[in-house]
Amino acid sequence: MKILVINGPNLNMLGVREPDHYGRETYGDLCEKINTYCSQKKVDVTLYQSNHEGDLVDEIQKAYGKMDGIVINPGAYTHTSIAILDAIKAVNLPTVEVHISKVEEREDFRQISYVRLAAKKTITGHGTDGYLEAIDYLTEGK
């Protein structure tokens, strides 16, 4: 099973940015956590982060025919990007949307998620464990 884990803008600043919302783990810590989990589960994982919307679209398109599923935290593009929604629909791969913070309890502008319209599941507010839950969902259907 091959899974692509995509992180959008500012998630490379984890550990530094707004720790009350996103905790103290760095992006490097998150990558290590996902890699360790996936090697235990014998999942072939690819990690990708970009601050640029078009690069995220390109990476989703590259997954077509190569990956079995996508875990995505689109960061702020969650709330604005029809292009990312369309890319997920285009490749038609099972996709889980993850947010580290509990977006539903935050500002009004965070209540819209375009990506959610194409996601099989959305996980919010479980910190970085949400990524592991998303991998469980894609590999075990739960």
Binder of ligand DQA out of 73, 81, 95, 122 (CB under 6 A): 73
- Looking at beta carbons only, is 40 or 109 nearer to ligand DQA? 109
The residue behind tokens 């679209």 is: 57
The token pair at 57 is 């679209």
- Looking at beta carbons only, is 52 or 66 nearer to ligand DQA? 52
- The three-class DSSP label of residue 16 is coil
User: Which is catalytic among the residues 27, 48, 99, 114?
Assistant: 99
Inter-residue contact 123 to 138 (CB < 8 Å) = no
Please indicate whether residue 22 is annotated as part of the active site: yes
CA separation for the pair 139, 8 (Å, rounded): 23
The token pair at 99 is 């947010």
Please indicate whether residue 52 is annotated as part of the active site: no
Q: 30-69 mask for ligand DQA (x: CB under 6 A)?
A: ----------------------------------------
- Looking at beta carbons only, is 78 or 81 nearer to ligand DQA? 78
CA separation for the pair 41, 44 (Å, rounded): 9
- Residue 47 forms beta bridges with which residues? 5
Q: DSSP assignment, residue 8?
A: -
- Looking at beta carbons only, is 78 or 91 nearer to ligand DQA? 78
Query: Which residues touch 108 (CB under 8 Å, ≥6 apart)?
Result: none
Binder of ligand DQA out of 45, 67, 103, 123 (CB under 6 A): 103
Q: How far is the CB of 67 from ligand DQA (least distance, A)?
A: 21
What residues are labeled active site? 22, 99
Binding site for ligand DQA (CB under 6 A): 10, 73, 75-76, 78, 99-101, 103, 110
